[in-house]
Structure 1
């Protein structure tokens, strides 16, 4: 199948705010001596398919430190509504002239740049509007990577009216397969651990991530996610730290 033009701007937009209800301020919470969001940005910079990274935050003054952090790391930022995250993504995509949008959430401090690149390349090699690596395709929570065309994002922005679709950026796409060409990127066997939870929603999620960083992180050298897999396969008791945490239902 014909590969999409690689001349389009591939923009990774990361939604981030300090007003999380379950763990307020989590994106700036210190992890191995740096804000958690700093580690996420560091890891995304390792992805070779991304032309630009944009931190999409809110207009609220409490999120000024997120803008400051983005500037410290030399990445773009965009400010939009707190609850209407879809509008935030649309505005950020327009600001940087994105042709392809990669959606990452800021609660994934172990995001795998190799997986990000693989999902982007899979998307570019097929004629889809949207491709996702997620629990439904065998990945664990924390590696979630979504890729869509700017056209699909903007169509969702124009048509979505209900609050859940405005808050959960790609929900409208999922609900309308008659409009959008959707696909999942299957997890390779070595990453097929859908029962693992490596995102941060609650304090015990952070405790697990902190334990992993304390074991594996070296300043200036992002953790190789294969080392995370090796650690957790050899010490599965670590996964009990947050085994009780349940994902928020849309």
Structure 2
């Protein structure tokens, strides 16, 4: 019994600075350093983020760790051609990008919401969408989304970033919170959803993994398709695919804004719900669509830009396969 009192948590392997630390990355070992975490302390404390590189078998103390600092980043520009300046188009009187941001600020686990756009003059109108100071505007590289996200991380001291794209006016606060929880629980580099309706979910990145990606010697030419860099390089990045619970499994619903028929669908949706400047939660959205299934037929046949283009998919896969 006396020896058991000295069993404390140590790193089960090398842990990078900025990596999420979970109980699964620790083991119990005899340790006489008094401030080393006990298993009970680890259960209540983790997940945490490593402040420094931690070598295997290092006793884990609170001064090596910090709380996850999660920032939700909405990536948006005004360069769309199929539906020009779609982010500014009104949905029941409220611009589409504002609809997206209203949903994002309703997420409970994030410390800040940022609208990340380019530093080009054509994107100047997006500067106004601060929601009365609830949203920070960060401007950066027009093409390199990784660079823009890392700039946000520096300005907000984030160590976890949830990425949402600005063409999702029905972004789900509930699905976002679920994905964040799963990301922290599993301690992976990247987390994505499976079977959620298109346009309701974003994805989660550990900032340390984004930094490693940015330092890769291969030029990042296709960051618009950022998930492929993680999915196509399993030896470099850990990926967590979260199968949505049944209440969120409606993969046939198209709830993203890219084409005129999408605009028609969203205008009918928001007008029928009579939503003003307020978030749209998934339960409310689901109830309306189930009771009015004809609304999903408006844009059902609109295809995702890249998914049916074999040559483009081949190009993306080749470009995102890293050294």
TM-score range relative to shorter protein: over 0.9
Give deviations 1:33-59, integer Å, cap 9, x for gaps.
121111111111111100111111011
Answer yes or no: is the 8 Å Cα contact 1:217–1:223 preserved in 2. Answer: no
> What secondary structure does 2:47 align onto?
coil
1:175 and 2:175 are equivalent in the alignment: no
1:14 and 2:64 are equivalent in the alignment: no
| 1:113, distance to aligned residue in structure 2 (A) | 0.6
| 1:168, distance to aligned residue in structure 2 (A) | 2.3
1:32 and 2:75 are equivalent in the alignment: no
The TM-score, its normalising length taken from structure 2, stands at 0.72
Answer yes or no: is the 8 Å Cα contact 2:183–2:204 preserved in 1. Answer: yes
Distance 2:124 2:132 in 1: 13
Distance 1:174 1:27 in 2: 28
Hey, which of these two has a bigger chunk of helix by percent?
Answer: 1
| 1:74, distance to aligned residue in structure 2 (A) | 3.2
Distance 2:95 2:261 in 1: 17
> What secondary structure does 2:196 align onto?
coil
CA RMSD of aligned residues (A): 1.7
1:51 and 2:111 are equivalent in the alignment: yes
Map of 2:174 onto structure 1 = 114
Structure with the larger RCO, 1 or 2 (CA within 8 Å, 6+ apart) = 1
Answer yes or no: is the 8 Å Cα contact 2:175–2:201 preserved in 1. Answer: no
| 1:227, distance to aligned residue in structure 2 (A) | 2.0
Residue range with higher mean Cα deviation, 106-115 or 89-98: 89-98
| 1:99, distance to aligned residue in structure 2 (A) | 0.5
Aligned mate of 1:78, from 138, 142, 156: 138
Gaps of 5+ in 2: 1-21, 24-45, 49-65, 307-312, 314-323
| 1:220, distance to aligned residue in structure 2 (A) | 4.1
Gaps of 5+ in 1: none
When the two structures are aligned, how many residues end up with a matched partner? 246
> What secondary structure does 1:79 align onto?
strand
* Structure 1 stretches of at least 4 aligned residues deviating more than 6 Å after TM superposition: none
> What secondary structure does 2:215 align onto?
helix
Aligned mate of 2:270, from 195, 213, 234: 213
Residue range with higher mean Cα deviation, 119-128 or 100-109: 119-128
Map of 1:89 onto structure 2 = 149
